[in-house]
Amino acid sequence: MNDQHWGPTISGDIVVIGGGSAGIGLLASLLKRDPQLNIILIEPSAEHYYQPAWTLVGGGAHDIRKTMRPMARVLPDGVTWVQAAVSQVLPDEQALVLDSGQRVTWNNLIVCPGLRLAWEKIEGLEQTLGHHGVTSNYSYQHAPYTWQRVQQLKGGKAIFTQPAMPIKCAGAPQKAMYLSCDHWLKQGDLDNIDVEFNLAGAALFGVATFVPPLMKYVEKYGARLAFNSNLIKVDGPAGKAWFEVKDAEGNVSIEEKSFDMLHVVPPQVAPDFIRHSPLADAAGWCEVDPHSLQQVRYPHIFALGDVCSTSNAKTAAAVRKQIVVVAENLLALRKQAPLPLKYDGYGSCPLTVEKGKVVLAEFGYGGRLLPTFALDPTVARRSAWFLKATLLPWFYWNGMLKGREWLTRLAKVE
């Protein structure tokens, strides 16, 4: 740890907030372009997680221990790591305030702290999560419990939930259902289990092209879809959940449902220090130009990852392309040159519809399909499962976090 951490003020040329996929990947890409850069990382966690595999963990197809590494192991050489949390962003002063009260000043700021899982917004959830059949693949701690419950359940009611958008990986809530149903089907238990998927929204998936192939699996598993149904309260010991349900006229009623297993996806919000800062848009996300990823009011600031106001799917695949845009555009800005790259909204959601098959949904702004491979993207394939379960985790640790920018072709600014 650098001694300056304990001084009254730390000054960095480039300061990066957040050591997740976006932060570590960007650090590696920047230092590959210019190893002499003076960069400070602000990140409180001692661990780094590969979150896309947690759905697989919940389906019994991945080891949870392989999804975590110490932050010190993934941090590129040449970065000063300040292990603290940001409490305030003061862009007009080009300064941050840390939870210790210490100030950090910068010439350029990169904002990528991710988002916050707002478990507390569902009454009773925090007290029962991980017990009484209440689980979530959105948590390192609880994804293994999902698989435990799936194996134990031989009959009864299984409810899966999805909150209002935006959330990390919009397909993950239903992936939990598909992998669970696939196991119950293979065990001969599915006929004894009533499966229901409650979505706060009005569509199964945001890109209409992928709804028909997904509906085939919904029908195959005999799952019921409850649209405009948002989880608001849980009583784990009683096995009851309450949903706010909107009808076609917009009238809201409360419905109580019993369960034997409840897979919860919590509401998701921007971190408080972003929401309550001049960087935020009306919804609290860091407001950026959707193509350059430059902050709209403070040109010396860029943002990427889940904290952004961009309308892309919040996935690691989106980050993979955003890293290149921010690295190139930031370095161009520092040379007072035009920003060369445009982000096209690319995101990928490998929809694990059964153990061994994936529908590889890749799309950009406006739902435009952006397939990497010359195959029909609506077909569930074994090759896409291999990509999701084997190749992508390997590439994440050995490629993306090392500054290897494979499959990141982007449009140049004309």
Asked if residue 210 lies in contact with residue 378, where contact means CB atoms within 8 angstroms, the answer is yes
Of 112, 181, 286, 349, the active-site residue reads 349
CB atoms within 10 A of CB 63: 10
Residue 189 CB neighbour total at 10 angstroms: 17
User: In the structure encoding, which two tokens stand for residue 133, read together?
Assistant: 């059949």
| Beta-ladder partners of 70 | 47
What phi and psi values does residue 324 have, to the nearest 5 degrees?
-65, -40
Q: Measured between alpha carbons, how far is 375 from 71 in angstroms, rounded to an integer?
A: 37
Beta strands in 155-277 (DSSP E): 156-162, 193-199, 224-226, 229-235, 240-246, 252-258, 261-263, 268-269
Q: Is the dihedral of CA 26, 293, 281, 203 positive or negative?
A: negative
Conformation bin of residue 267: beta by default, left when phi > 0, alpha when psi is -120 to 50: beta
For residue 176, the one-letter residue type is A
Strands (E), 71-192: 79-82, 86-90, 95-98, 103-111, 116-117, 134-135, 156-162
Structure tokens at 83: 């292990």
169 is catalytic: yes
The residues with which 96 forms a beta bridge, in sequence order, are 89, 104
Q: Which two tokens stand for residue 207?
A: 């890109």
Q: Which residues pair with 366 in a beta bridge?
A: none
Q: What is the DSSP string of 117-129?
A: E-GGGSBTHHHHT
DSSP string of 258-283, one letter each residue: E-SEEE----EE--HHHHTSTTB-TT
Peptide bond into 166 cis (omega under 30): yes
Catalytic annotation on 349?
yes
Single out the catalytic residue among 169, 181, 286, 308.
Answer: 169
CA distances from 162 to 77, 124, 278 (A): 39, 17, 30
Catalytic positions, please?
Answer: 169, 349
